[in-house]
Structures are given as C-alpha cells and as structure tokens.
Structure 1
C-alpha cells in the first residue's frame, strides 16, 4: 500500500500503535496482524431495492435476485443513498412511508453502511397533491415535510440531498408542479435558504448537500449567491450521468476546478457510465431517449470498465472530493440504461471487478504481519479509515486519521 508516497498521499497517513498486555506491560517483539475494515472516503451507490426487499414487496424470484445483488453490494460499498422522492414516499397526503423506509435504513446500517437520504426538495417526482394548494400552503407543506423526515431519521440518516437541481427549478416547464411554483415566487436563493434552515433546525448535525446535474458556471454562480446569503451548505453535490459518453479526464478536471474554489467538500452524487450504446449527442434531456431495449454489450462493458477506473482515480486524486456514488447498481433502472455494475440477471460486469480491485485492493490494507519493537510499537501506513489489530487471539480496532499522536491499545 503506497498511498503515503503517491498522488493519494492526502488520503493516507502513518499511525504509531503502541500495544500492551492486560497487565500493562508493553508487548515487545510480538507478531501482530493488522487489516483495514473501512474507508473514511465514502464509496457509495444508490440503493432503492432495500425498501421492497426488507418489507417483503418482492416476489420470490425478485427477492432471490436482490439477495444475490446485496452480497456484492455490501462487499464493495460503505455508503448508500436511499430514496425519499416525495411523490412515492407520500403519495397520499399524511401517509408517508416512514416505517417501511426506516426498516430498510436500519437494515442497511446494520451492514455497516453510512446512509444518505435523497432528496428533501425537488420539483420532479414531487407530491401531486401540492397542486391543489396555494403557494403559501405548498411552502408550509414542504417545510413540514423536511422537519418531519429529518427529525424522524436523525441518528440513522444524517446526510441529505437537501435540495435537488435548483439551477433549472424555477424555469422547469416539462409539467406543472408545486415546487417550481414556489421557486418562481420566492426565487432560488430564498427557497434554498429556507430548505437548509429547516433541515438544520431539525438536525443541527446533519450534513446537507445542494445537488445538481448542471456542472456549468450557472451552478457556480448560484453557489456564489447562496454562500453570500449565508446558506449553510455542507457539501456541493455534482451529478455526472455520462450516458452520452465519458467526460474524460480533461472535462472532469475542469469541473473539479470550477467547484473546488468554494472550499466546500465535493460529493460526486450520481455517477453513471453505460456499457451499451451511448445516447446520441443531439438529445439535450436524457429523459427524452426512449428505446425498447438497451442491452449491455461486450465491447461496451470493456469500455465501461476502463472509464470507471479513470473516473474514480481522477476524483480520488482531488483532495476536495469526499464521496463518489454510483447510480445504479444493476442495469435497467433509470432510463432502462445498462449503467449498472451488474446486469439484470446479476452477472458481474468487468466494471465491478475493476472498481473492487481499486477500493478493496489498491486502496486497501489487507491482513499484514507486523513485529512490535522494543517499545511495543508498530507504524501502520494506510488510507484514512478504520483498522483492526489481532494479537494473542484478540482483536481491537483503531483509526488512521490525520492526527499525529500515537494510539495506545491494550490487548
């Protein structure tokens, strides 16, 4: 593991571990095994199957396929985004899917995943019953929804896409919706501020993102206005749905430079690379691309695998990036695209293997033997995250972070 002397050195550290026995005496010249158990960096994926799976909404064949996918999912990721689309979550006013969603969230958390809710406010897939209200009532309902859900899930979900796709929100004209109505009236900055303030009121420690697919200067200008207005943005969400082709390193670096200037952590929230035909470049809205079949191809899978490696390495090299979330795990979800890391029938694609080889290979400390010195110390170098030391049949955890002080462990 050479992270400390590489382009990933900002993500690594060396920790001095001092080991002693139960009697307090240091363990000199003792063999110990150290292995990594988690990354600090958030390697994530959208996870929309957990709600129907945990709540027994799947038929037997679907449930079996989901079980197979979850095994691969848990092997790779430490972070998951779960859905709170208002139009699905609360189709009938006053009947939100709190219990079903919480049950799924608890199950995912029990498998070691940190969770993010997506989204609290969005003009798409929003509650249809908002259209029967005045703008004042819509705003009140939106604030109430934020307060309810952020409070209800506090401690279980403390990361939220607070508001989604604000650049286009007030001029969105595909169909009428309550959120665009209030955004037109209030203006983007005022609405975003209200959303963030309400979410912070419900959970002061929550990490709140603004999230957008627009990676142009328009998004940057909006962010400037929000920051000047004092909106407490904890992270900037950047979508990279590359259904029309991989951005390439050059464009990715341009996007990173554009948004790194704010000094706010960057989360690449929705990353896709397809393993089949690309959407033609003349199509402006990806939702307009409708085909009966969109198969994954051998050539496309090899291309996807190469591009996944390039994309993740480019993002990890930038110290401002704290999270990368793949969207979706299996083919055929959004737009029916072959954008998964596994196929519909759960065949693992090369992209999954390549990503696994990075996250749990090149960027991971596998079980490694150390011998303590005369002071009972070892020096462990690795990516920031959680580790475990084994000695005399016992295991004890520690964290590699950027702090310089030694860690004393009693076996």
Structure 2
C-alpha cells in the first residue's frame, strides 16, 4: 500500500446516477471560471513534490469533497479552476515531528473564494488547525471538561511559531516555523480530544467489544481462548459466493460450527454481510442475472438466512459498502439502485426475523473518491442521507475505520458528523499495523501511513487506546469491532492483536486493561 497512494486506490471508482444535490453542485462547478494558485513547501522549505501535491482536493463547508476541477500541478504549486462557493482544502502530507496526516485549511470556518489566492498553504494549514482546536477546547470547557496548563501552553507555542513564520521572509525559516506550529496544534488537538473523552466516560452496560471470528477453528485452541478473553461480540462470514457457491446449496454447517462455539461462551454473533457487490459477495450464477432477477434472488437469500438463524444470529450487516466504491460495485449500480437494494435487504431481513438488528456498513468515510474518481461520485454520508430520506428501516450505521491517515482530532470530528444523522453507530471494522515490515500474508502487504512514530506494537497500542477511548465516550456508539485477532492472513499488515504464534502483543494487553477499567465503572 505504501507504493499506492489514496488517489490511485480510488481513481478508478465507477460512477452513479447523480442525485439532485450533486447535480446542482456540478452545475456550479461547470460555471467556475476564476483560476486560483496555491503554494506549498515541505518542512525544509523545498517545493512540495508534485505527486504529493496532486492529491490535494477541495471540500465544501459540510466536509463533502468536491469533484476535481481542471488543474495544473508543478513542484510546490497547484493551479486550478475555483469553485464558486466557499470551500476548504485538504492534503495528506508529511509533518516532520508528527507523522503523515491529512491537513485542512478552511479560512477559520469561513471557506475560501477566488479572491483569497494566491495562497500559502502551509500558513493556511497552521491557521486552520489552531482555530479548530481552540474552538473545540472552548466548547469542551463549557461542558466542564478540565484541561491541564500544558495543553494551553502547547496551543500558545503553536501560535508563537505561526507568528514567527509570518514575520520572516526566509522561505526555509518560514517553512520550519509553520511546520513547528502544525506539530504543536496537531498534538494539542489529539491531547484535547483524548482528555475530554476520558472525562466523559460513564457506565456503558451491554457495550459490544468485538472482532471478526474468521480464524475459527483453523487457528486452534489458543486463538479461541484469547478471543473469549477479550471479546463479547463476534463477526462471522456470510460472503455469498462462498456461503452458497451454487444456488440452493448453502453451507450451513460451516456457520453453525462457529455459532455453536460462540453460544457456548456467551458471545453475541453478527453475520457479515448479507449483500455485498464485491467479487466474493456475488455467486457466479447471480452475476449473470438481470437487475430485476438479482433483486428477487437477494430478497429470497436474505429472508432464508435470517429465518434460519432467528434467535441465534440477530445482528447482521444487511448490506456492505453500498455507496459505489469500485471494488464493491462490480455490477455497476447507481445510487438509486443501491438505495433500492438497501430497502429490499431491510424488508427481507425483517420478514425472516422480526427481531433482527440491521446494520448498514460503510467504508471510505472521508469520501476522497468524490474528488479523485470520475464523476458522478457519492459519499457514504450522502448515501445514508438518501436511506434516511427514503425512510428505510435499520437500527445502526456501521463505520469502518482502518488507519485513515487522519489524526484523532479529525477522527473525532468525523464521528460527530455521522452521529448527527441521528442513528446509533457501530464501529464495524478497524485496524492498524504493529510493524513496518512487509507482511506477505496480509491483504495490503505494506503498512499504511505514519502516526507519530513508525508502526510498532507500542504505537499500535497507543492508537488503540486513544481510538477506543474516544468511541467509548460517545453515547451514540454502541460497539467496536477490531478486524483480525491474529497475524497470518490479517487484512492490515501485522494488524492482529496476536502474533502469528498466538502470543499477545502490547495492543492486546492495552485493550484488555481498558476494558477492565470500564467494566469497573459499570
């Protein structure tokens, strides 16, 4: 993954039929004629590499990425048509002293217009981060959150470095001071969000701490023992192509074996997923059918599965990644079709089991595909808005949060944004690496990103502690599921909480310690 940037990953994403909101936005974009000029350097004052800079994208002030406009990118400079509405800027880049992270500039929440350019983006990033963190800290203080003087000192240092950068004409010193300012405000933001989360934690009975249960029974008894030591919730695989390779011949025994073990150990199972238009979610016979035929087959499949497991599996991801991302849209469906398929999945699952707890599972939550992919594109947020607008019944929004190249402050902002949709949330999948080495047995092979320090067991454990604490502090989040308990076939390279030999990593013990602390509160 280190050799494939996020733009390359998302660039080939297939399009949808365009919704009304996006149509209007596209019309505005088509009319955009002013050209804008953006300058950015690395922390050493050298013009930023054009390949990195080409990953810059614009957002509206609701954090929705904007389809890419005509642009020209050179070393350290980007020239682009300007959106004709207030917009923000995002770019993933290396911040020396913190890591590789997505930075944002939004002109202190007001957005930019063409008259604000040319723009020094280093300055804009530093200014916006100070503003966002200061505003958040002010709000949290009104909620009686207590912050140490060291946090205020860090924010003051960020402002001081920012002013130093403003007051020098030396481009190298300017870059150095802006980088130092961003480091301090990044750290301040993460410290603040972590501190306020810890102070907001209260008793949370019946919270679901889970993991995918894909290693059973192959990984042996040590895997099983470690699983039940940590988790009360388990995701079991229902990938349609493997579960029913030939229509009418479902592999019930494979699932039943897992369900029986989980029931014996009082662990709640969840089926994942009932509908997914990834290669492994589409049986060969189904792939050849028309859309209308597929709707009928899906409804029958879902009703049969949920009826069979009624009382044994009540949680299901009824549909997975249904907002058109390339790898999950092999049949080329539109947004309207995905919404219709979600309605079918919702109704059929309820018909099979009126006690079902339905989760709609979403990935790529920052929706860079909208900026990088060929228009029209849609975000998971927009898709969920459509589901709610169409009154589709479901119980939980599912969010995937594999290392997103965002800091904890921005992760918190995203969670709050999805929380505003008014539905409770499950964090259905997440993971980060514990090593910088190549992992040939994992899906991605190479570790993704850089958070504070190169990935290690300690860095993984620190990330887990902060992320889980933030999530557990939110009363609209009801469950968190790690993806892959053990290395040796994990999704993220060295992303397990156990080594391949089933020995626990630091992250395993750190998470166990957290759960013990929270159980005492309960």
1:144-201 alpha-carbon deviations (Å, 9 max, x no partner)? 11011011001010011000001125xx3x5984xx35x3496221111111111111
Structure 2: distance between partners of 1:186 and 1:100: 35
Cα separation, partners in 2 of 1:121 and 1:9, compared to 1, 3 Å: same
- Distance in 1 separating the partners of 2:260 and 2:328: 35
1:339 is aligned to: 495
- CA distance 1:335–1:100, shift in 2 (3 Å): closer
Deviation at 1:277, TM superposition (A): 2.3
2:476 matches 1:326: no
Q: 1:269 aligns with which of 425, 428, 444?
A: 428
Structure with greater helix percent: 2
Deviation of the 1:250 alpha carbon: 0.8
Q: CA deviation at 1:299?
A: 5.9
Name the counterpart of 2:323: 167
Aligned equivalents of 1:335, 1:325: Cα separation in 2? 14
Calculate the TM-score normalised by the size of structure 1.
0.69
Of 349, 354, 361, the match for 1:211: 361
The answer to whether the Cα contact below 8 Å between 1:91 and 1:128 also exists between their aligned partners in 2 is yes
Q: For residue 129 of structure 1, report the CA deviation from its aligned partner.
A: 2.0
C-alpha separation in 2, matches of 1:79 and 1:45: 7
- CA 1:317–1:291: 2 relative to 1, 3 Å: closer
Partner of 2:341 in structure 1?
191
**Residue 457 (structure 2) aligns with:** 301
Assess if the C-alpha contact under 8 Å between 2:198 and 2:473 holds in 1. no
Could you say if the C-alpha distance between residues 316 and 298 of structure 1 is closer, same or farther in structure 2, counting changes exceeding 3 Å?
same
Summarize the alignment of residues 240-389 of structure 1 with structure 2, pairs less than 5 Å apart. 240-242=401-403, 245=405, 247-277=406-436, 289-290=444-445, 300-335=456-491, 337-360=493-516, 362-365=517-520, 382-383=521-522
| Residues in 2 aligned to 1:266 and 1:239: alpha-carbon distance in whole angstroms | 11
Correspondent of 1:45 among 207, 211, 214: 211
Matching of residues 65-214 of structure 1 within 5 Å: 65-124=219-278, 125-126=280-281, 127-168=283-324, 172=326, 177=330, 180-181=331-332, 183-184=333-334, 187-214=337-364
SS in 1 for 2:253: helix
In the alignment, structure 1 residue 231 sits paired with structure 2 residue 231: no
Note if contact 1:238-1:270 (Cα within 8 Å) is conserved in structure 2: yes
- Deviations for 1:30-75, whole angstroms, at most 9, x for unmatched residues? xxxxxxxxx510000100123xx2xxxx4xxxxxx52011111101
Alpha-carbon distance between aligned partners in 2 of 1:317 and 1:221, rounded to the nearest angstrom: 26
Cα distance in structure 2, aligned partners of 1:40 and 1:87: 33
Q: Secondary structure at the match of 2:470?
A: helix
Report the 3-state secondary structure (helix = DSSP H, G, I; strand = E; otherwise coil) of the residue aligned with 1:187: helix
Hey, what's the Cα distance between the residues in 2 that align with 1:314 and 1:198? 35
Alignment partners' CA distance in 1, 2:255 and 2:437:
34
Gaps of 5+ in 1: 13-38, 59-64, 280-285, 366-381, 384-411
Q: Of Structure 1 and Structure 2, which has the larger fraction of its residues in strand? A: 1
Contact 1:44 1:78 in 2 (8 A): yes
Q: Which has the higher contact order (CA 8 A, sep 6+)?
A: 1
2:457 aligns to what SS in structure 1? helix
The count of residues paired between Structure 1 and Structure 2 equals 305
Give, in whole Å, the separation in 2 of the partners of 1:300 and 1:81.
Answer: 26
- Ranges in structure 2 where 5+ consecutive residues have no aligned partner: 1-196, 368-378, 448-452
CA RMSD of aligned residues (A): 2.6
